[in-house]
Chains A and B, each alone.
Chain A
Amino acid sequence: MRRLSSLLFLAGLVTLIIAIFQPLPVGTATPAVGTAINHAAPEQVGAANLVTAVVLAYRGFDTLLELTILFTAAMAAGWVLDKPRNEARPDPDAGFILLAASDLLFPLLLILGLYVILHGHLTPGGGFQGGVVLALAFFLPLLARPGRRIDHQLFSLVEGLAGAAFIGIGLAAMLNGQAFLAPLFGTGELGALFSAGSLPLLYIAVGLKVGSELAGLLAHLAETEAVG
């Protein structure tokens, strides 16, 4: 019975969606606001990567909320999986190849992550992508040596402070008499590493926060008690 009703529901939804998209024009739309941003961004923001200009300046508020969602989800997941695995039977260490690889990869991933974060306003990439790379850098050794624990306290400290720093930069603009999250420090020279005002600072905060959050989350998932 339930099976039948879900099939009916599915059929209805499929017809609805196909009917919706029959006339959808692709490739002909005129992005008025996007074009305006493309023209205004180099002067207003000074980031060579216009997506970064949108993510951190024009829609910086969205990014703050996105960070908060990640924070909330990580916190909730940690809460749900609160009970750590019993210490009696940790998984054995991985084989030599994985061990060596994780030791080798750690510094490489660390540098790659930092590079991606710091060049976010110039090239593709930025705080989120770099942050994930950082998280993987810290998580891989854990995967190779399951007995080891990461310092959750330290990670949550970094996480909280980085989030507060993002809001703090926004509030600093307000104290300066501007709107919340307005870019500070001028725009600099387009394409230079030290350009785009406070945007790189924001991306560093994003990177640290995303990195510490995801590393904690991954560790939580890995440390939780096996069911099987």
Chain B
Amino acid sequence: MDWLLLLLVSLMLGCAIAVFLLDNFLAALAAYSVVSLVLSLLFAFLRAPDVAMTEVVVGAALGSLFFALTIRRLGLGQTGDES
């Protein structure tokens, strides 16, 4: 159990650092979503299913969607899908 937790925590913190190290904003956003998802797993582990669900829906889905829309509108995506 502790090993799994260690893995999750290091994944989360690694992705959190990656948010600031990745040059591409979409990649940073992906890292942020991973942080949010792992965080929701941690919430579920902490006997907080309501919070876990909220973190998935609000933090991971909605927050990332906001960021994604903004990055797209700012033209910072660098993926070339912006017409």
Contacts and interface: CB of A to CB of B under 8 A. Distances in A.
Given A91-B83, A92-B83, A226 B53 contact: no
B73 A132 contact: no
A65 B75 CA distance: 35
B82 interface: yes
Contact of B82 (A221, A225, A228): A228
A125 B51 CA distance: 8
Contacts of A114: none
Contact of A227 (B50, B58, B75): B75
Interface in B26-83: 48-54, 57-58, 61-62, 65-66, 69-70, 72-76, 82-83
Interface residues of B, number: 22
B81 to A, nearest CB: 10
A49 B66 CA distance: 30
A49 B74 CA distance: 42
A116 B22 CA distance: 36
Interface of A: 49, 51-52, 91-92, 124-126, 128-129, 132-133, 135-136, 139, 214, 218, 221-222, 224-228
Given A224-B73, A226-B73, 17 more contacts: A51-B48, A51-B50, A91-B83, A124-B49, A124-B50, A125-B50, A132-B58, A133-B57, A136-B62, A136-B65, A221-B66, A221-B69, A226-B82, A227-B73, A228-B73, A228-B74, A228-B76
19 contacts: A49-B50, A52-B50, A91-B83, A92-B83, A124-B49, A124-B50, A125-B50, A128-B58, A129-B54, A132-B61, A132-B62, A136-B65, A139-B65, A214-B62, A218-B65, A218-B66, A221-B73, A227-B73, A228-B82
